[in-house]
Amino acid sequence: MKPTDASSHPFKRAFTLIELLVVIAIIAILAGMLLPALAQAKGKALGTKCLSNSKQLQLASTLYTGDQDDRIVLNDGALTIGSATWAAGWMQPGGTHSGNCPTCHTNELYFMNGLIGKYAENKDIFRCPSDKVPFPGNTDPYIRSVTLNIFMNRTALALNSTGYRVYQRLGEMSKPTDLFTFIHESPQSIEDCIYRLDLGTKGSGVGVPDWRASYDVFENAPAALHSGSTSISFVDGHVEQHKWNLLGTWNGVKVVTNNTADIDWLKSRASE
């Protein structure tokens, strides 16, 4: 028998522990670099989706207006599915009407059976895709995150604003590019379908906006779920993702806090 030649079977060297640890460390470093980038990319994608939702919702409202002789969709709070408003329902737990509307936060029929539901077609456009906040006491998130500027065809204007126009038709506006319509509201404050603002008495401000004297606050808080921004649509159909100046937190999510710059920006785009 031919003796075995050890040289014909070279020894296969394995990784040492040090080398293995180095490889693991490199992988960890790369993951640490990639994961934030992936999270940022996902955030941007959600922001783009939110803008698209706002665009589609504004288009649905515009289509309704075109079929209704230039009349803006009614913007009244209601608790019954199929009410004559763009969205019924009461989203805030423990509020005045929450006991009468126990499924408002999960049932899309409150807005899909509203005045613009048939134009919207997709229930998802009524909600910010980044809004994952569960309705208190439930595991489900709020099914609707948008509200409509109170000066857009609100029939019972219960707010502190005198001399400012409440629009019923598109033709009543001189600057539709500067007037906002739908806004994503913070889960901290969303209630019915109306985004409330108090503007004070028109012309009362001397060198400053009229609301500075008594109403320099957010009556309803805007959302800030896209790196401190939120999607807002305007009468002319364009949408913006507006970046807010001063943020706080509520239940672990970013919210806009009262500050002059943000309040002035939004209230100056509410009415003429």
The counts of H helices and E strands in the chain are 4, 9
**pLDDT of amino acid 8:** 56
Q: Over the stretch 39-54, which tens digit does the pLDDT of each residue have? A: 666 667 788 999 999 9
Q: What is the band of 255 on the pLDDT scale with cuts at 50, 70, 90?
A: confident
Q: Which has the closest alpha carbon to 187: 240, 135, 227?
A: 135
Res. 2 pLDDT band, cuts 50 70 90: low
Which residues are CB-contacts of 124 (< 8 A; sequence separation ≥ 6)? 53
C-alpha closest to that of 187 among 237, 122, 120, 256: 256
Q: How confident is the model at residue 11 (pLDDT cuts 50, 70, 90)?
A: low
What is the distance between the alpha carbons of residues 84 and 68, in angstroms, rounded to a whole number? 13
Beta-carbon neighbour count of residue 133 at 10 Å?
19
Q: For residue 219, how many C-alpha atoms fall within 13 Å in the half-sphere facing its CB?
A: 21
Q: Which amino acid is at 105?
A: H
What's the number of CA atoms in the CB half-sphere (13 Å) around residue 55? 10
pLDDT tens-place string over residues 47-93: 899 999 999 999 999 999 999 999 999 999 898 999 999 999 988 76
pLDDT of residue 243 exceeding 80, the answer is yes
pLDDT at 104: 85
- pTM for the complete prediction? 0.84
Task: Place 193 in a pLDDT band, splitting at 50, 70 and 90.
Answer: very high
- Per-residue pLDDT, averaged over 142-170, amounts to 89
Per-residue pLDDT at 176 exceeds 80: yes
Q: How many CB atoms are closer than 10 A to CB 5?
A: 7
Secondary structure (DSSP) of 30-95:
HHHHHHHHHHHHHHHHHHHHHHHHHHHHHHHHHHHHHHTTTBPPP----SSTT-SSS------TTS
On whether the CB atoms of residues 184 and 230 are closer than 8 A, the answer is yes
- The pLDDT of residue 128 is 94
Q: How confident is the model at residue 29 (pLDDT cuts 50, 70, 90)?
A: confident
Cα 178 to Cα 173: distance, rounded to the nearest angstrom: 10
Average pLDDT of the chain? Answer: 87
Neighbours of 98 (CB within 10 A): 16
Question: What pLDDT score was predicted for residue 7?
Answer: 54
Q: What is the pLDDT confidence band of residue 133, given thresholds at 50, 70 and 90?
A: confident
How far is the CA of 252 from the CAs of 183, 212, 225, 232, in angstroms? Answer: 21, 30, 11, 23
Q: What is the pLDDT of residues 93-130, one digit of tens each?
A: 666 666 677 888 889 999 999 999 999 989 999 999 99
Task: Specify the higher pLDDT residue, 75 or 250.
Answer: 75
